[in-house]
């Protein structure tokens, strides 16, 4: 519940990118006030005002860090964005620590008419690190799709990917089709998904209206993760740019995607839920 709130589900908007505007704006304001104190030393209280802008900046940065950390813990450990997100988090912690030191240094200089060199240099370094961290944050959103659209999903997203090999279940190498049992699907609730990798092919399995549907995990537009998408009727909506696909047929029902999804038939075999892998989707050892 609290996690949903911090991910912005009630707002239908991620919270961390919304809050980071406050510390970024306040730290830059603080630097501008420092520079103004050098250009216009006769204007009163510029150094003091810069101090308070920085103080409020640190407080808002700590607020923004909480939903940011929740978003971080939600990134799959096998996702390439995890490293970028770790670098983004470390840089942000460094920035806050640096501004904390800066605040301590300048706390005895509030009556000065010009900002001294040391706190000014600390502010310049702080803004440089903040810019680098902001660049990484932008990459996480625009390149990696982190926090894009996931707040729309009402049910939990799958944490891990299951791994199978079709060869393990084949009667022999000439078998027409292979049925791979996925007992984990029995635990799915309505509109929940799981993710399975079969010989390098990643498949999302969803439960809708008490039936199971298998379809390719990666969206045909820019490879958004469909196992993290939201469902409307029999449509899965990609969390990245909102393309919709009918999970029964794989047909695109709303762009920007133009290419249909590959689908996989789900069948009950010997009382087990199985995904049907046709021969052209199988790797053989021949």
Positions touching ligand FES (CB under 6 A) are: 219, 221-224, 238, 240-241, 243, 256-257
CB closer to ligand FES out of 7 and 217: 217
Residue among 159, 142, 139 at smallest CA distance from 227: 159
CB closer to ligand FES out of 169 and 218: 218
Query: Least Å distance between CB 239 and ligand FES?
Result: 8
Query: Least Å distance between CB 258 and ligand FES?
Result: 10
Query: Least Å distance between CB 197 and ligand FES?
Result: 19
Query: Least Å distance between CB 14 and ligand FES?
Result: 17
Strands 193-198 and 161-164, sheet pairing: parallel
Whether the CB-CB separation of 231 and 244 falls below 8 Å is answered with no
CB closer to ligand FES out of 262 and 283: 262
CB closer to ligand FES out of 180 and 219: 219
CA separation (Å) from 223 to 5, 15, 124, 273? 27, 24, 39, 27
Distance (Å, whole) CA 20 – CA 47: 24
Which of helix, strand or coil describes residue 267?
strand
The vertex-45 CA angle with 44 and 46, nearest 5°, equals 100
Query: Least Å distance between CB 249 and ligand FES?
Result: 17
CB closer to ligand FES out of 86 and 223: 223
Query: Least Å distance between CB 244 and ligand FES?
Result: 9
CB closer to ligand FES out of 212 and 240: 240
Whether the CB-CB separation of 216 and 224 falls below 8 Å is answered with no
SS3 for 19-38 is HCHHHHHHHHHHHHHHHHHH
CB closer to ligand FES out of 48 and 221: 221
Q: Which helix (H) or strand (E) holds 212?
A: strand 211-216
Query: Least Å distance between CB 175 and ligand FES?
Result: 34
Is residue 80 exposed (0-12), middle (13-18) or buried (19+ Cβ within 10 Å)?
exposed
């Amino acid at each position: 519940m609290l996690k949903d709130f911090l991910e912005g589900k009630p707002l239908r908007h991620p919270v961390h990118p919304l809050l980071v505007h406050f510390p970024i704006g306040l730290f830059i304001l603080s630097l501008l006030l420092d520079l103004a104190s050098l250009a216009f030393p006769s204007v009163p209280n510029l150094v003091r005002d810069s101090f308070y802008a920085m103080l409020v900046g640190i407080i808002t940065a700590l607020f923004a860090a909480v939903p940011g950390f929740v978003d971080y813990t939600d990134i799959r450990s096998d996702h390439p964005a995890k490293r970028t997100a770790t670098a983004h988090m470390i840089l942000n912690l460094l920035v806050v620590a640096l501004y904390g030191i800066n605040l301590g240094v300048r706390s005895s200089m509030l009556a000065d008419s010009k900002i001294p060199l040391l706190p000014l240099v600390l502010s310049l370094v702080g803004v440089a690190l903040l810019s680098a961290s902001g660049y990484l944050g932008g990459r996480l959103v625009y390149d990696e799709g982190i926090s894009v659209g996931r707040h729309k999903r009402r049910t939990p997203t799958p944490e891990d990917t299951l791994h199978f090999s079709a060869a393990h279940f084949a009667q022999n190498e000439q078998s027409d089709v292979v049925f791979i049992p996925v007992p984990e699907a029995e635990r799915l609730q309505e509109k929940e998904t799981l993710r399975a990798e079969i010989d390098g092919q990643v498949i999302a399995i969803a439960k809708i209206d008490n039936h199971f549907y298998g379809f390719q995990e990666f969206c045909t537009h820019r490879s958004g993760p469909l196992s993290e998408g939201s469902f409307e009727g029999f449509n899965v909506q990609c969390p990245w740019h909102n393309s919709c696909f009918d999970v029964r047929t794989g047909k695109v029902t709303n762009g920007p995607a133009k290419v249909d999804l590959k689908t996989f038939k789900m069948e009950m075999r010997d009382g087990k839920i199985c995904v049907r892998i046709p021969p052209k989707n199988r790797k053989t050892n021949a």
